[in-house]
Amino acid sequence: MSFTESEERQALRSAVADFGARYGHEYFNAKARAGEKTTELWTEAGKLGYLGVAVPEEFGGGGGGIGDLAAVCEELAAVGCPMLLMVVSPAICATVIARFGTEAQKQQWLPGFADGTLKMAFAITEPDAGSNSHRLSTSIRREGEEWVLNGRKYYISGVDEVDAVLVVARHVDDKGQRLLPSLMIVPTDAPGFEFQPIEMDIVSPEKQFTLFFDEVRLPADALVGSPDAGIGQLFAGLNPERIMAASFSTGLARFAMAKATDYARTRKVWDTPIGAHQGLAHPLAHCAVQIELARLMTQKAAALYDSGQDKAAGEAANMAKYAAAEAAKDTVDQAIQVHGGNGLATEYGLGALLGATRVGRIAPVSREMILNFVSQHTLKLPRSY
């Protein structure tokens, strides 16, 4: 067992950190506040292969694992460029297609994921189902050679900047009985597909959307893999999502921590730097412990996932995502406290992180649902729902 990442992983982190620092948080915030996208950053990262690290080599990717992709996500967030679509497009969508897609689907979609020229959103959450995948009402039915999609999704990230959305929908039979879920690749320009932005109090270039599918007709090969593959392939995409969400959070936590410690080392109100006061030093040290523990768990989850241990990876990914979100929330809060009034001044860039890190406790799965998972699966306690 080794607690040091491989030389290649470390070199990747260092290259991505150098690369991302050239853009930095000011660039990122300026884009977000102007309602623009971080297209240059995404495109260049794609060209360098950073977005396609986990795509198989035969399709032009790096042939690495989710641990490599998570490292890219974390390092970009740590220099102030949290890339929300990395959690979705290369982590969920590319993974699901690489693992379960037909050969033709892999040929069609994976090269675009490999170099970042293709972006895909992911849509599971529904207004009336929340986190209960058994109550999903978005449906598909077969008509001749086509699939027909109906339903509604909400809180779907980045739909205005993607080529297609990977939509979770359930088959319905002739009697209207809802059956197994499948994953449908829906181009954003498909007739009958509309989306509307949801106004959010989060400073982010990626927007949130409500999606409407009204008799959207899709070709047979829009369905990923086999129609009877069921829920298994859904979960195959959700573990990477949690690992990426955790990395997104630990990256932001490191970014806030660097700001806090820089400030605490140099800011003097009386004779000593404020960082010498234990009232500020100890909470930061506590956050540092939380961040490192969350990073360690995230790396464990990624290592388990990459070695094919889906079940063990599920528990670790949930725990990592929980811990990372809490660490990020606490670190941003403490970083703001260290900065006093400056902590909420736009110039210091910390206030903008409040929403971005707070969302980690809600999405992609709420902390309460993670605690339910741990209660039920790890602790074998009876479930309440």
Partner 1 sequence: MNIVVLVKQVPDTYSERKLADADHTLDRDSADAVLDEINERAVEEALQLQATHGGEVTVVCVGPDRATDAIRKALSMGADKAVHVSDAALHGSDAIATAKVLAKAVGTVEGVDLVLAGNEATDGRVGALPAMVAELLGLPALTHARKVEVDGSTVKVERETDEGVFFLEASLPAVISVNEKINEPRYPSFKGIMAAKKKPVSTLAIGDLGVDAGEVGLGGSWTQVTEAAPKPPRAAGQRVEDEGDGGVKVAEYLVGQKLI
User: Whole-number minimum distance, CB 46 to partner 1, in Å?
Assistant: 11
User: Whole-number minimum distance, CB 33 to partner 1, in Å?
Assistant: 27
User: Whole-number minimum distance, CB 53 to partner 1, in Å?
Assistant: 5
The angle at the Cα of 19, spanning 118 to 48, to the nearest 5 degrees, equals 40
**Which pair of tokens denotes residue 52?**
């396609």
Separation between Cα atoms, residue 125 and residue 358, nearest integer Å: 18
Q: Closest Cα to residue 184, out of 147, 154, 230, 239?
A: 147
Contact between 62 and partner 1 (CB under 8 A)?
A: yes
The angle at the Cα of 19, spanning 16 to 20, to the nearest 5 degrees, equals 85
Position among 5, 37, 43, 63 found at the interface with partner 1 (CB under 8 A): 63
Position among 32, 42, 59, 64 found at the interface with partner 1 (CB under 8 A): 64
Position among 23, 28, 42, 50 found at the interface with partner 1 (CB under 8 A): 50
What is the chain's alpha carbon radius of gyration, rounded to the nearest angstrom? 21
Separation between Cα atoms, residue 219 and residue 212, nearest integer Å: 18
Give how many residues touch partner 1 by CB under 8 A: 17
Give the nearer residue to partner 1 in terms of CB position, either 139 or 261: 261
Position among 52, 82, 112, 151 found at the interface with partner 1 (CB under 8 A): 52
- The structure tokens 């009386």 sit at 270
Give the nearer residue to partner 1 in terms of CB position, either 8 or 143: 8
What residues form DSSP beta bridges with 213? 151, 193
User: Whole-number minimum distance, CB 316 to partner 1, in Å?
Assistant: 24
Q: Closest Cα to residue 162, out of 189, 140, 194, 183?
A: 189
User: Whole-number minimum distance, CB 167 to partner 1, in Å?
Assistant: 30
Separation between Cα atoms, residue 304 and residue 299, nearest integer Å: 9
Query: Which residues within the stretch 6-45 sit at the binding site for partner 1 (CB under 8 A)?
Result: 7-8, 11-12, 15, 18-19
Position among 28, 29, 68, 327 found at the interface with partner 1 (CB under 8 A): 68
What residues form DSSP beta bridges with 140? 149, 171
User: Whole-number minimum distance, CB 349 to partner 1, in Å?
Assistant: 20
The footprint of partner 1 (CB under 8 A) covers 7-8, 11-12, 15, 18-19, 47-50, 52-53, 62-64, 68
